[in-house]
Amino acid sequence: MEVKQLKVGNMDNFCYILSCPATNRAAVIDPGADAELLLDTLQRHGLILEYILATHFHYDHTDQASFLRRETGALTAMHEEDVPHYKQEVDTVLRDGDILHIGESIRLEVLHTPGHTPGGVCYYGHGRLFTGDTLFVGDSGRTDFACSHRPTLGASLRRVMELPESTTVMPGHDYGPTPTSTLLQEKRHNINAVEYGFYKESA
């Protein structure tokens, strides 16, 4: 799996393009802005967009999903708990444990990680975890929105921390000191690690 991390919009959002080298089939995660940049990137690399994957329904992660859907024919996918909050078309309704295949080589597992939104998800595969606004480098998503719930987010974070510590964290915003991290680094340095019960001391 090849991964391109693109910063889009004016809120330091990260959008990701995942592609299968064997088939040039691709998925976009969280196209919140700059659709022309995303289309240009897809075209320059000869990629065929199959899926538009939302980690959650907030506009800064989904604003250009409908445009990309119209332009490419790709399928928009979102967790069932967030679909009622999203005012556009959703082609594939996701549930916890669903497996998405892109091309011949990409396999992503859908992990339901509510708390920031009711239907927030992370996409896990090939040693990478695309976390949206569930987990940032050094922090976690806000829980002061109407649909948010802090204890629920804590449970979601404890769940993802059970994945291998070498897993690369691919966050939804560039809010930390580095654009990516690992679960081990977050266990040791995330500001919420003690509160949410996944702190691990450095060796």
pTM, full prediction: 0.97
- Give me the mean pLDDT over the 149-159 stretch: 97
Question: How far apart (Å, rounded) are the C-alpha atoms in residues 199 and 17?
Answer: 31
pLDDT recorded at residue 202: 82
What is the fold, at CATH topology level, of the domain defined by 2-189? Metallo-beta-lactamase; Chain A (3.60.15)
pLDDT recorded at residue 74: 98
Q: Residue 30 corresponds to which tokens in the numbers above?
A: 């969280």
Does 178 score more than 90 pLDDT?
Answer: yes
Residue-wise pLDDT for 30-48, tens only, equals: 999 999 999 999 999 999 9
Question: How far apart (Å, rounded) are the C-alpha atoms in residues 141 and 169?
Answer: 14
What residue segments make up the domains of the chain, in order of their start?
2-189
